[in-house]
Structure 1
Amino acid sequence: MHPARSRWHRGGAAAAGAARRQQWWLPKFVAGPVQPELVAIALVYLVQGLLGLSRLAVFVFLKDELGLAPASVALLTSAGYAPWTIKPLYGFLSDAVPLFGYRRRSYLVLCGLVGASAWGSMALFASTPAAMLALLMLGSASTACADVVADSVVVELVRKPSANRGTAGSLQSLCWASQSTGGIASAYFSGSLVGDYGARWVFGVTAAFPLLVTAAAVTIPEQRIVSPPKGVMRSGSGSSSGSAGGWQRGGSPALPHARHSGVVAAFKNQAALLWATGKQPGILWPAVFVFAWQATPTADTAMLFFETNQLGFMPEILGRIRLVGALASLAGVGLYNFKLKHVPLRTILQWTAVAGTLLGLTQLMLVTGINRQLGLSDQLFALADTALLTVLGQVAFMPLLVLAARICPEGVEATLFATLMSLSNSGMFLGSALGSGLTAWLGVTGENFDNLALLVTLCTLSALLPLPLLRLLPADVDEAKEKEDGGDGSSGDGGERKES
């Protein structure tokens, strides 16, 4: 994604004045007056960033209020985000199963209400690990579903006849900038709010954010569905006439069994098409690599316990570390887009893994206290270490997005891309679970950090394990990149930068 391109569409003095009044607060990512869909998209991604306000609160609540050990916290938080691993299912439901006659608006309204209920329940009622897990999963499902629906709205805007060549890049920039703005704002306030008011109070504040999605969703101009959506056919026939997906011509609901049969048939067709495409070697092996790249264990939760219990970091300090991480993530995106996007994918993945491993081992200095011997305070070292590792991590993640987008064939690109991202999320879930298991196996607890250095070493070195799988990537992935970047045969920064 590229930085925003400010554009101003002048269609007469009256139109310009109206547009100016409507979009004074919204970055000018697209030409013309702000459409309600753009406001809804921006708010969905802004809320995704703002929900980061609760991340530190969840850790503090599980650690201090429920008294869980590092391994349990790592497993519970990773399981709480498991709904992100089934994103294609949300897309299918939104496309094939209208709610109250709408495929976008109603789902966003529902997601906002469910998310607000989940975080509100955490603030008022959650008192056991099982309750927290259930509510975290419910909140994650609402956010993931809203993300998929917002992406669908973006696709629909791009396919409009009025869309131009730069519309896709501009909309992606809007999504990225909105989420980053929310992420930075939440990181800035998270530590002080948890320290001053407590975790439950932060959960209550977080509950208000999803309601922004609900409020914006009702403004989306969407025509009520009175005919079956594409791809949904009535049971027992390949004909597009008659009932389908529970709807008949003229807008009358079909019989329940016909609606059910149509949805099931559509799901089977979509699954068969996805499997036929995904099992091709040029897609299957890169998918295996994407999963394996993310599936290595992490020691993040154990390090958080060490920083709070051993080093005495207060929530305010942890909030500053999150803020530095959010800013460093933006820097990583910029570094990749402006300096490294022309580097072949295999090369950048290989060297980021090696560099990330070397820099990741610097955490041992904090664990063993070597940084203090060098005159560096724990807080300063943690801030600097977070900045470096986050930049490198973002640079390593960007090629995965490029890889996933590049191997998706035309016709199933949206579904396959969502599936690949779900595989990536599944890999991260497995990595967190493996890290939780290693933490428990090595006996690292909230009071015992004797084996923390070994845990950090094992988790950091494990990042090198997927490197042999780089050979699974088809050679034409890099060749396609070189052709795309070179265009007329020239390369380098002097050429035109293409949307990614």
Structure 2
Amino acid sequence: MPFAIKPWVGLFSDCYPLFGYKRMPYVFGGSIIGLAGTLLAVLIVPSQSTVILGVIGLFMMIFYWIACCDLLSEAVYSRKISSSPANGPALVGYVTAGQKVLGLVAGLLSGVIVQYAPKLGGHTGSQWALATTIVPSIVLIIPVLLNYFGEEKWSSEDSHNERMKLWNEQRELVFLSVLVGAVAVMYAIFSVVVASFEINFVLLFVLLVVLAFAAWLVVRPLISRLLLFKCIAGVSLLQPSGPAQYFFTDDAVQFPGGPNLSPLYYGSVVNTVGIIGGIIGITIFTRFMSSWTYRRAYLVIIITMVILQLGDPIIYSRVNLKIGIPDKVFVVGSTALVQVGQLLIYMPGSLMLSYMCPKNLEGTMFALLAAIHNFAFFGTGSTTAYISESLHVSPRGLSGIDESAQFDNLWIVSLICILVQLIPLGFLWLLPDSPMDELLLPRDQCTSATVGSPYKRFLGNQRKSEGKSESLE
């Protein structure tokens, strides 16, 4: 849910600076909300009633904080990329590498804390792991308040003029932001209330078509093609993560002959290796791919990602044991390789949108791209669940119950998910065939996100017709 309202956050921060700043106050406010949710989630004593009534709400506060910081920091470095396109790939790589390095530390700590932290005062290991984020989060507020973002201060008059300019020249962008956020929120609520994979699956694709059509109608063709491609890429990025988790972590009673990995190994070791693989992917991107065209980059990344994931059906079908590779070794190698591809596919799109963001609307445009992509990706859960249910892959992880039969067709589910990820290759023509370290448009043409859209062209033709009619009269 919090990630679904990114378009509203982006639009509001672009249009209504607080104390003269567009990013700093919103990041600070989100941090306070997130820290409050974190403290309450750590201090609360878990029980059935608190889980039902409170914990979900607290984590929504935490994820709102994450979504807010993620979006507004992207808006900041988008402007930096536009001013220095040659350094764009390196900047995206630097930001992503920072996230992965800190994720590496968190991955190493979380599994150890969850498994070994004492249950003092009735608190769980997960709560103690969450508590470790409080001090670093407070420290991070300091550079935000010191304006390390390098923001310019806006006067009330300038802010008003900017809002009027947006409303008079690009009001359809406002409507699109409201629509995307509303659709994402409604689908999130609907998917929780209606526990039907079939209905959610159909509704997802109907709403995606609506959003894609709306984006095509009101934003400039270059941006609408990127949004459509990211939508297709997001909805095709299927992963049977739910059944896979039970496959790896079920004990010897639940899954005789399975990997039977401990939570520590699966949560820390495998995750850590995956993050290291992601850092390797960032190095490859910034060192060797930064001058490639977008089409070439996506072509190589998608094919590479599909090939690297072929290890999943091998371990799910237990073929790795037949060829003498232990589960622990195979899952570590496979996870690291897959992380390389999954990280690489994210980076070109961020660069492309950074080059196309109209000045002073970076938050809105990044929010639209992220919201449409996240909405498409959010729906992959329903798609994967539908495929899994159809092939009778429905593990539950119930203690003391043998559910090994639930994994018989998991390799087929995995193979279908992998093949679906090839679909975006048929839509590479939507992307510009331009190098990733160059501007896509001259700077004087990056002032509007809606110029040249079908809606703008329709209005222009209509005004011409009205002008001709008046002249004839």
TM-score of the aligned structures, taking structure 2 as reference length: 0.67
Q: In structure 2, what residue type is equivalent to 1:230? A: S
Work out the CA distance in 2 between the residues paired with 1:153 and 1:425: 20
Query: Which amino acid in structure 1 is aligned with residue 260 of structure 2?
Result: G
1:146-169 Cα offsets, whole Å, 9 max, x none, are: 23333455578899xxx9998978
Identity of aligned residues (%): 22
Q: Work out whether residues 115 and 210 of structure 1, in 8 Å CA contact, stay in contact via their aligned partners in 2.
A: no
For residues 165 and 424 of structure 1, what CA distance do their matches in structure 2 show?
A: 24
Please state if 1:460 is matched with 2:422.
no
Alignment counterpart, residue 396 of structure 1, candidates 341, 345, 353: 345
Structure 2 equivalent of residue 187 of structure 1: 107
Q: What are the superposed Cα offsets for residues 327-384 of structure 1, whole Å, 9 maximum, x if unpaired?
A: 1111111112222333333233234333322332321221122212222111110000
Structural mapping, 1:146-165, within 5 Å: 146-152=69-75, 154=77
CA offset at residue 428 of structure 1? 1.8
In 2, Cα distance between equivalents of 1:195 and 1:104: 38
Q: Is 2:235 the counterpart of 1:295?
A: yes
Say yes or no: does 1:350 pair with 2:299. yes
The one-letter amino acid paired with 1:136 is F
CA deviations over 1:12-43 (Å, ceiling 9, x no partner): xxxxxxxxxxxxxxxxxxxxxxxxxxxxxxxx
1:252-401 to 2 correspondences below 5 Å? 268=171, 271=174, 278-296=218-236, 297-309=238-250, 310=255, 311-318=259-266, 319-401=268-350
The alignment status of 1:478 with 2:433, answered yes or no, reads yes
Q: Quick one: distance in 2 between partners of 1:133 and 1:266?
A: 40
Aligned to 2:67: 144
Question: Structure 2 vs 1, CA of residues 357 and 180 (structure 1 numbering), >3 Å: closer, same or farther?
Answer: closer
Q: Which residue of 2 aligns with 1:230?
A: 159
Deviation for aligned residue 1:129: 5.6
CA distance in 2, matches of 1:462, 1:165: 33
Which runs of 5 or more residues in structure 2 are unaligned?
118-124, 178-214, 397-402, 441-473
Query: How big is the alpha-carbon RMSD for the aligned residues of Structure 1 and Structure 2?
Result: 3.8
Instruction: Say whether 1:214 aligns with 2:135.
Output: no
| 1:445 and 2:445 aligned | no
Task: Summarize deviations over 1:172-193 as a string: whole Å, max 9, x none.
Answer: 5664453233112112222111
- Which residue of the partner structure matches residue 6 of structure 1? none
Which stretch of structure 1 is more off in the superposition, 175-184 or 372-381?
A: 175-184
Segment drifting more, 220-229 vs 140-149: 220-229
- The letter for the 1-side match of 2:137 is P
Equivalent position SS for 1:188: helix
Shift of 1:322: 0.8
Aligned residues: 372
Q: CA deviation at 1:394?
A: 2.2
Instruction: Give deviations 1:197-256, integer Å, cap 9, x for gaps.
Output: 22122123234443233344343388987624524579xxx6x9xxxxxxxxxxxxxxxx
Which ranges of structure 1 fall in alignment gaps of 5 or more residues? Answer: 1-81, 241-262, 486-500
In 1: Cα distance, 2:287 partner to 2:45 partner: 48
Higher helix share: 2
Q: Which stretch of the first structure deviates more once superposed, 150-159 or 311-320?
A: 150-159
Shift of 1:137: 2.6
Task: Give a deviation string over 1:58-117, Cα, whole Å, max 9, x none.
Answer: xxxxxxxxxxxxxxxxxxxxxxxx423443322332233345675444323322221122
Identify if the C-alpha distance between structure 1 residues 125 and 361 changes in structure 2 by more than 3 Å, giving closer, same or farther: same
- Secondary structure of the structure 1 residue equivalent to 2:382: helix
Q: Structure 1: how far apart are the matches of 2:290 and 2:85?
A: 20
The answer (yes or no) to whether the contact 1:344–1:481 under 8 Å persists in 2 is yes
